[in-house]
Structure 1
Amino acid sequence: MPPPTDGERPTSVAIVGGHRVVCAGVETWLKGSHPRVEVIGYFASPAEFAAAHPRAAADAVVLFDLPCEGPDFDALRQICEAGHPVIAYTCSITDDVVSAAEAAGAVSCVGKHEPEHVLTAAVRSARGDHPHAAPRMAQAPHDAHRIVRPTLSRRERQVLIAWFQTENKHAVAERLYIEPSTVATHLQRVRAKYAAVGRPAPTKAALVARAIQDDILSVDDL
């Protein structure tokens, strides 16, 4: 069989935490997806994963298992801040958990009870240009008369402002001393967070508008 072309190259997934039986089930789900998704490794703990993958890899997504009791949001945040696009996978899909996962930097939060097509859609979009809001994230309650502001991390704000003030992601990477892929991951997270609160910003111009609305920057900063 000939090797896959660039358009057919599978998205790689590393699973962090969780029971082996859960990981086996997830791998079975993902194997049947199209475009292809390939599980490249299982790591029993966040520390084990961080030691093996200190930096984000191209076309790779992290599926982070959040325990129902005592979810480790600090470990989730550390992996996100290293530049990895992360999907929080949990059975406790409450508003508090979704908000905390989003604040830690997760691209999406998917419930273990949700069907496989929800998980595969989240995985594919985590490395793409279009953010994905899982059903439970999109249902986050908010007042229709109040602007809901997503919780952006300090680094996400830095990347966002630098991107507005420079020509491209490579210039942002040079300014902040990070990899271009890390810049792209942070921007994907920001878009996902805005989509999750019902304020999608698929273009740079739309993100500028959102940032001004939310006092992240002013017109004079541009």
Structure 2
Amino acid sequence: MPPESPSPSTPPDIRVEPLPYEVRLEPRELAQVDLVVIHCTELPDLATAREYGERVLYEVRADGGGGTGNSGHFYIDRDGSVHRWVGLDRVAHHVRGYNARSVGIELVNTGRYPDWLDSRRQAMDEPYSEAQMVALVALLRQLQAGLPSLRWIAGHEDLDTIEVAASDDASRQVRRKRDPGPRFPWARVLAAVDLQRLPV
């Protein structure tokens, strides 16, 4: 039976499931965290997202750094369950140029999977579930209570606007990142939390 979704005013039950390389991620002071970035996984399910998150993409360097991959801090499954894969005191690799100051929240959603860069398949049609939205608002409120500098929120698509050649036709350009996409209810979320959309 799926877990019961929290109400937006109830702190969510967070399942702590650290990635194998979490301790290798750069530590940070929580006071520097002022931004939440909303993503969607663009993958079919949480298990596949975990597989991607565990992949080591940055080899160990001579200075001892590296040996990590790309991941958000939190993942919210379609049933509203909340999973923490990276602690807030670590810099997760989830958005270019903003990692050190931000918390990455990934919503399980197919997005454009499996043809992310195919110009004929750029629609992001899967709606976010009610359980996900309730859990997201509850998580954002909990983060606000614990991170005194937190004041901004953005979508991945707001911060990574790079266009690349389409996989089906190199003469066409597509957005590298489009998440959380057109089905994300920004008005609802912004009305429920005391965060402002980051001006970019």
- Normalised TM-score (structure 2): 0.27
More helix, by proportion:
1
